[in-house]
Each structure stands twice: as C-alpha cells, then as structure tokens.
Amino acid sequence: MEPRALVSSIGLPLSAAALGSLATASGTRSSWYRSLSQPSIQPPAIAFPIVWSVLYVHSAIASGMAQAHMDEAAARSYRRKLALNMTLNAGWCWSFFKGRQIGPSVVVAGALTASSVDLARTAGAAYRPAGGFLTPYAAWTGFATVLNAAIWRRNRSRT
C-alpha cells in the first residue's frame, strides 16, 4: 500500500478516536450529561465504546482497501473526504460533550452522516467490499443523528 494511503487509513480514524475519546470520557461522567432526559432509543452506555471501536477499525480497513483500488487523483480526493469525515466525527464529541451544544450538535451529526454516506459510496465505487465495510459506519452515524435530535427535543429547555 502506498505510504499516504496507509498513514491516512490508520492515522485519521485513530486520531478521531483519540480526540473524540478525550471529550467523551469526561463528558459521559458529567452531572450535566447524566441529568439529560434520554429517549427510549438510547443504547446502554457500554455499547458506545464497543461499537465505535469496531467502526473505527472498519473505517481504517475500508479506507486502505479503497485507496489501493484508486488512481492517485482519486485517492487524494478520498483522503480529503476521510479527513473531513474524521474531523466531523471528533468535532461532534467536542460540540456535544464539552460544548454542551445539543442543538448545534444535531447539525454536526447530520453533516457527519452525509459525509459518512458519501465516504461509503466513494469507497464502494472504487472497490465494492470497501463500501460494504463503511456501510455500518454510515448507518450508525445516521442513528446517532436521530438519537442526538431526540435528546435535543427532550431537553430543549436546557439549550
């Protein structure tokens, strides 16, 4: 695999995971978060680190596979899309947990979902299995957007 593809495929998801974890770890333990009214679709807390870990690994694998099947121009474009996606991913954690901006976080989550769908489509166009690896990530970010919106609706008076 070309070095830039390897670095981006592993480095970007790893960076997003690390930066997002910094915001999320203390945020989920905060009295502010614990006091939020949660919707019935809220998964148990243990699900999040498990699901996100798997999705970050899938993102790295899919990104490597996709870039291996792209010419340099397409791979460069894909790396920009991946960088934007992972920035939105980590940014949502900071917006929601550190910034406590529930409403604006819905917008970030929606942008992350759109970016994730586009990333899966782009990867799948280059190499179908790569798109398949990213499809659960796109689905989960869609669910996360719905969950964020439900939390916002239930807690509007606090935003």
Percent of the chain at pLDDT above 90? 89
| pLDDT greater than 80 at residue 98 | yes
pLDDT of residue 25: 86
- Give the separation between CA 40 and CA 68, rounded to whole angstroms: 42
pLDDT of residue 159: 57
pLDDT of residue 89: 98
Tens of pLDDT, residue by residue over 28-52, are: 888 999 999 999 999 998 999 999 9
pLDDT of residue 96: 97
pLDDT of residue 62: 98
| 31 contact partners, CB below 8 Å, separation of at least 6 | none
pLDDT of residue 157: 83
pLDDT of residue 32: 93
pLDDT of residue 63: 98
CATH H superfamily, domain 3-37+47-158: TspO/MBR protein (1.20.1260.100)
pLDDT of residue 2: 85
- Give the separation between CA 63 and CA 32, rounded to whole angstroms: 36
pLDDT of residue 88: 98
pLDDT of residue 3: 85
Which residue ranges make up each domain of the chain?
A: 3-37+47-158
First-residue to last-residue Cα distance in the chain = 46
- Based on its alpha-carbon atoms, the radius of gyration of the chain, rounded to whole angstroms, reads 16
